[in-house]
Amino acid sequence: MHLNKDERNKEQERVTWVSQQLDEKIQDTQTEYQKAKAETQRVQKDYGTNTSANYLEADDRIETSADLQQQRSLTNKVVEDQAIVESQLATYRDLRQSPYFGRIDIQDEGFSDVDHLYIGKASFIDKDGEFLIYDWRAPISSVYYNGTLGKVAYDTPNGKQNTDLLKKRQFQIKNGKIINMFDTNETVGDELLQSALSDENNEKMQNIVATIQHEQNDIIRDTNSNLLVVQGVAGSGKTSALLQRIAFLLYHSRDSLNADQILLFSPNLLFSNYIKDVLPSLGERNMRQVTLAEFFAHRLEGMKVQTLFQRYEDNDQDLDPALREFKNSQNYIDQIEEYVKQLTPDRIKFDDIHFNGEVYFSKDEIREVYAALPQGMTSSEKLLQTKNKLIKRLKNRIHDETKKKWVADIIDTMSDEQYHNLLGAKHLNDFEELDDERDYIATQLVKNRLSTVYDAIYNDEFLDPYVQYADFLDHVKLPNQVDLDQWKQNKNDFLSHIEFHQIGLDDTAPLLYLRDRFSGENKNVNIKYLFVDEIQDYSIAQIMYLKLIFPRAKFNLIGDSEQAIFKDVESAQTLLDKLNDAIPSKRSRLIQLNRSYRSTYPITSFAKSLLPDGNDIEAFNRNGDKPELIVKDSSEELEQTLLSVIKQQLQKHETVAVITKDAASAKRVYQKVNARFDATLLKDSDRDMNSPVVVLPVYLAKGLEFDSVVAWDTSKRNYPDEHSLGVLYTILTRAMHSLTLLCNGEVSPLIPKRAISNNLIKISKNSTAE
């Protein structure tokens, strides 16, 4: 409902008044900031002069280090104070542009007053302690997002408070001026959403704080679940809700949670970059982000781990799908779990530890130490004890080692500098006899050299996880569907890849699971919330590994089962059931989002017609042109058409993305396009898209959106059957305002006849688009 002029004037007066209060606050904060900055500079300067203290004498050094510690913590504190004031200043400046977007009038049960509360990106309190603006994450603000008018409740420190929601008003305010305002009964009226969604693509994802929808709000404000699974159709705001949720959690648990304790697995580097401004725009620090490829590479240092993209590109046709499915399944990891539990010392693949080219601790010695430990211990306890015992033995052997010839040889040929380095803080006159001095040097030398043995023990180098995993492969109980010969061949492939320090993706998580489950090591207990976006691209085995090594994290798994591009599409319920079995959690919850916001109504209507369950998808009502399918009979003609489509689209939109099925076609298309336009071919190492035209394979477009999308060659050849449904659907749903499908020859059967008969798509047979 649009409001009368009087009402609008009153609201504008309030905005102006709040803006004045903000101006004052900004001035005060600026002064405070200058002071904080001066203080930091003063301390840093002092710190600089104080620490140039005398380093020559050992005693001084100890004193200096205590001083240093004190200075350092003082510096940290002033730097932190300065950063806090700086971020407050940024918040007030931000609010000054647009102080709030919502108002609620509520009357609490048992009270006669009606409160008018205004809701914005952050709280703002005046000098008398009155809330002029409530942070969108404050408990009371939930009423704005959740409730329709009438009786509702919100959380307070004393429990639930019932209230009567009398009015809900929305604003668009720019530079202190109300542009638009209206009252509504809905969560956030369509009008505001329309306006937010009609904008052309911003290079970076925007926050959606002013227009969060009811069901998105459930995701954002969930504080109860240990396993939260979000299944949402393409463009339903899953990633947006995920980021808003992180901002919410940081606010809600600000005393016990910081951004470093939240980790997000993102699909690719372009995506990481695309979303990186959302949290800062909400006044929060970014969570940590990692891609699966980066994560595995880090966990298996020295190995070339096949990435999801490489596996997709290689698409080894010979590999039995049943075998792959098995290796990615819970059954497989459960068998590893059993294998580890039953691993007797004689079957553990120990390795010798070498020193100076000779065996220093033999595998038999290590095995003996391990085997002598009490039966009741877990493998990780035994491993720890074994390491402790080996380190003890190592220390005991230092003395013997000093008598060896190699030590004498080195000392004799040592330069003065090396000698003095080993002498360290000792003085020559600290020794009574010359021999004492030489013994000291020999001990230091041996200790230094033996650090390689120490490291080998510390880093479990006496265990060979690859050979152990190969042994496991020999003991697996194969499901009926998997062929034994294929399995043996697959094991040989694994071993020959290892020779070249390569490992396939299907073996990576299971191998890591075996290694880390056995050792109990490499866990990260610091992470409290783990988010995985595009969960449909992960295997159950990978999720089980994540659960093993992030034991304290609450899992938030977000995705769209229809956008599975690396395997066949599976239903949301199947995925949830699998997850519940694989990582049972006390409080698990599934939230589904069915409304799609990204694309225009015609685009979503067409895209959903490809899916068997497409009717569940609700298209947001935003106007636009019908998608167009242009069919040509040769690749030359198709390339020509592509150029004219791009030209046409650039007149209407700032960005055009040509999305292909794989990297090879992206490269070919790019060569044609680049001759005429300022274009970029995107690769998986890219973080930015710097040109108006981009050409990219589907997996790099994951999670992203573009004003205009051209789907390259949607022919039967490229998309022959339902195995490529996820790929084609993902491509089509990247489009915000315009979608063109180009096809050479027979059209993919995935584009259903009914889309054509129901007129969901415009077909141009042999015309060019120009």
In total, the chain counts a number of residues equal to 770
- Give the distance from CA 304 to its chain's centroid: 21
| CB closer to ligand ATP, 196 vs 756 | 196
Contact between 684 and ligand ATP (CB under 6 A)? Answer: no
Cβ atoms of 224 and 587 closer than 8 Å:
yes
196 binds ligand ATP (CB under 6 A): yes
How far apart are the C-alpha atoms of 397 and 81, rounded to whole Å? Answer: 52
Least distance between ligand ATP and beta carbon 563 (Å)? 6
- Are the C-beta atoms of 114 and 106 separated by less than 8 Å? yes
Q: Which of 328, 317, 323, 315 is nearest to 486 (CA)?
A: 323
| Contact letters for ligand ATP, residues 586-625 (x by CB under 6 A) | -----------xx---------------------------
- Judged by beta carbon, residue 215 or residue 325, the one nearer ligand ATP is 215
Residues with Cβ within 8 Å of residue 418, at least 6 apart in sequence:
none
Q: What is the dihedral angle through the alpha carbons of 582, 585, 589, 590, rounded to the nearest 10 degrees? A: -10
CA nearest to 537, candidates 719, 321, 703, 667: 703
Distance in Å, CB of 234 to ligand ATP, minimum: 4
Q: Is there a binding annotation on residue 38?
A: no
**Residue 689 touches ligand ATP, criterion: CB under 6 A:** no
Is residue 236 marked as binding? yes
Check the annotation: does 234 bind a ligand. Answer: yes
Options 213, 329, 335, 539; binder of ligand ATP; rule CB under 6 A: 213
Question: Does the annotation place 405 within a ligand binding site?
Answer: no
Residue with the two structure tokens 């019932």: 162
Interface segment toward ligand ATP; rule CB under 6 A; list 51-59, 206-214, 491-499, 690-698: 206-214
3 state DSSP class of 504: coil
Distance CA 608, CA 444 (A): 72
Window of 143-151, 207-215, 369-377, 676-684 that interacts with ligand ATP by CB under 6 A: 207-215
Q: Is 232 annotated as a binding residue?
A: yes
Write out the binding residues for ligand ATP, residues 727-756 only, by CB under 6 A: 733
Q: How would you class 636 by CB atoms within 10 Å of its CB: exposed for 0-12, middle for 13-18, buried for 19 or more?
A: exposed
CB of residue 207 to ligand ATP, shortest distance in Å: 8
- E strands, 50-202, are 102-108, 115-120, 124-125, 131-135, 150-156, 159-174, 177-183
Residue 187 touches ligand ATP, criterion: CB under 6 A: no
Contact between 510 and ligand ATP (CB under 6 A)?
no
Fill in the DSSP letter of residue 416. H
Among 97-105, 116-124, 227-235, 415-423, the segment contacting ligand ATP (CB under 6 A): 227-235
Q: What's the min distance (Å) between Cβ of 212 and ligand ATP?
A: 5
Residue position matching structure tokens 């050299």: 449
Give the helix/strand (H/E) hosting 265. strand 262-265
* Residue/partner pairs of 603-607 with CB below 8 Å, 24 or more apart: 603/627, 603/732, 603/733, 603/735, 603/737, 603/738, 603/739, 604/235, 604/733, 605/760, 606/732, 606/739, 606/755, 606/760, 606/761, 607/234, 607/729, 607/732, 607/733
Query: Residue 759, by phi and psi: left (phi above 0), alpha (psi -120 to 50) or beta?
Result: left
Q: What is the rounded CA–CA span in Å between residue 362 and residue 418?
A: 32
The secondary element (H helix, E strand) that includes residue 354 is strand 353-355
- Alpha helices, DSSP H only, in 174-291? 190-198, 214-220, 238-252, 269-274, 278-281
Q: Does 217 bind ligand ATP (CB under 6 A)?
A: no
* Binding positions for ligand ATP, 452-471, rule CB under 6 A: none
Nearer to ligand ATP, 508 or 561 (CB): 561
Our CB check for ligand ATP shows the closer of 132 and 710 to be 710
Options 248, 703, 712, 715; binder of ligand ATP; rule CB under 6 A: 703
Q: Contact between 231 and ligand ATP (CB under 6 A)? A: no
- Quote the tokens at residue 173: 């305010």
Q: Which is nearer to ligand ATP, 334 or 568 (CB)?
A: 568
Candidates 147, 237, 283, 602; binder of ligand ATP (CB under 6 A) is 237
CB of 738 to ligand ATP, least distance (A): 15
Q: Is 190 buried (19+), middle (13-18) or exposed (0-12) by CB count in 10 A?
A: middle
> Does residue 234 bind ligand ATP (CB under 6 A)?
yes
Note whether 711 binds ligand ATP by CB under 6 A. Answer: no
Minimum distance, C-beta of residue 706 to ligand ATP, in the bound complex (Å): 11
Instruction: Write down the least CB distance from residue 541 to ligand ATP, Å.
Output: 23
In whole angstroms, the minimum distance from the beta carbon of 741 to ligand ATP comes to 18
Residue of closest CB approach to ligand ATP:
237
Is the dihedral angle over the CA atoms 757, 759, 760, 762 positive or is it negative? positive
**What binding mask, one character per residue, do residues 469-498 give for ligand ATP by CB under 6 A, x or -?**
------------------------------
- Asked if 235 touches ligand ATP (CB under 6 A), the answer is yes
Of the pair 325, 705, the CB lying nearest ligand ATP is at 705
84-103 binders of ligand ATP (CB under 6 A): none
**Which range in 157-165, 205-213, 437-445, 486-494 contacts ligand ATP by CB under 6 A?**
205-213
Nearer to ligand ATP, 215 or 284 (CB): 215
DSSP E strands in 517-624: the ranges are 529-533, 554-559, 588-593, 595-596, 618-619
State both tokens at 733. Answer: 């749903």
Q: Give whole-number Cα distances, 488 to 198, 280, 590, in Å.
A: 56, 51, 39
Q: Which is nearer to ligand ATP, 26 or 212 (CB)?
A: 212
- 192 or 511, CB closer to ligand ATP? 192
Q: Amino acid letter at 20?
A: Q
* Closer residue to ligand ATP, CB minimum distance, 560 or 713: 560
**Contacts (CB under 6 A) with ligand ATP, residues 522-561:** 560
Closer residue to ligand ATP, CB minimum distance, 268 or 744: 268
Given the complex with ligand ATP, which of 583 and 736 has the nearer CB atom?
736
Half-sphere exposure in the Cβ direction for 42 (13 Å, CA): 9
233 carries a ligand binding annotation? yes
Distance set, CA 416 to CA 122, 407, 412, 419, 423 (Å): 64, 16, 11, 5, 10
SS3 annotation, 424-491: CCCCHHHCCCHHHHHHHHHHHHHHHHHHHHHHHHHCCCCECHHHHHHHHHHHCCCCCCCCHHHHHHHH
239, 286, 289, 402: which one binds ligand ATP (CB under 6 A): 239
How many residues bind to ligand ATP according to rule CB under 6 A? 23
Choose the stretch contacting ligand ATP; rule: CB under 6 A; options: 64-72, 141-149, 170-178, 189-197: 189-197
Binding site for ligand ATP (CB under 6 A): 193, 196-197, 206, 208, 211-213, 216, 232, 234-240, 560, 597-598, 703, 705, 733
Binding positions for ATP: 232-239
Binding residues: 232-239
